[in-house]
Amino acid sequence: MGSKTSRPERFGNAGQSGQGQHLLGPRRVWVAGVLGGRNVAQLTPAFLSAHHFIVATACHEADYGQLIRDYCLSQFQASMEALGPRLWCDWEETLGTYGELTNCTALVAEKLACYWPNRLVDEFFVGLHRRYFRSCSPTGRALRDPPAAVLGPFIALPVLGALLAAALVVWRSKRGEGLV
């Protein structure tokens, strides 16, 4: 056990699946458990093949947060500024850009061997919604008046109905009370 080989070579390349290649280089933490007072490394090879050496990928949150801000957010901001604040609440206009941002955060997480979604992603998107979508309606659609061809009758008909009802009351009161 005194060799100077790396842990993956010494333990039979346990967990080597190629996922260690990511943007900031491999960041693996080899975790050995202790069972019954014995170190797992002292157990038989058959026992080791039962995955009692766990390869845990360490997500470096500082790197992940910086990358999603520098890479993903900068692209999103450029797209949203080009779109203009008037259309930020129009889901049909922002859906593509928002989807690209979501995919970007997931891709960076995958490359850094981080779980997705995670706490940083949640905080990132909450901050994003506070900045860009704070004044949007809960349905996600920009509220606007209907066209005049639709709005006009909805205003005119009740007004005309009220005037007609008032005229009918006046007319009935002038006729006399002979008819009951």
Report domain extents, the chain. 8-58, 62-132
Task: Using pLDDT thresholds of 50, 70 and 90, give the confidence band for residue 172.
Answer: confident
SS3 41: helix
DSSP character at residue 21? -
CA triple 102-25-65, angle to 5 deg? 35
pLDDT score at 49: 44
Residue 174 has pLDDT above 70, yes or no: yes
Cα four-point dihedral sign 150, 153, 156, 157: negative
Is 70 or 137 the better-scoring residue by pLDDT? Answer: 70
Q: CA-to-CA distance for 84 and 151, rounded, in angstroms?
A: 27
Instruction: Assess contact for 41 and 83: CB atoms under 8 A.
Output: no
pLDDT score at 143: 62
Instruction: Assess contact for 88 and 133: CB atoms under 8 A.
Output: yes
pLDDT (tens digit per residue) in 11-47: 333 333 444 333 333 333 333 333 344 444 444 444 4
Task: Using pLDDT thresholds of 50, 70 and 90, give the confidence band for residue 139.
Answer: low
Task: Using pLDDT thresholds of 50, 70 and 90, give the confidence band for residue 140.
Answer: low
- φ, ψ of residue 162 to 5 degrees: the values are -65, -40
Cα four-point dihedral sign 78, 84, 89, 91: negative
- φ, ψ of residue 57 to 5 degrees: the values are -90, 130
Least confident of 13-17, 54-58, 165-169: 13-17
For the segment(s) 62-132, the CATH number from 2.40.70.10, 1.10.150.510, 2.40.40.20, 1.10.3720.10 is 1.10.150.510
Task: Using pLDDT thresholds of 50, 70 and 90, give the confidence band for residue 144.
Answer: confident
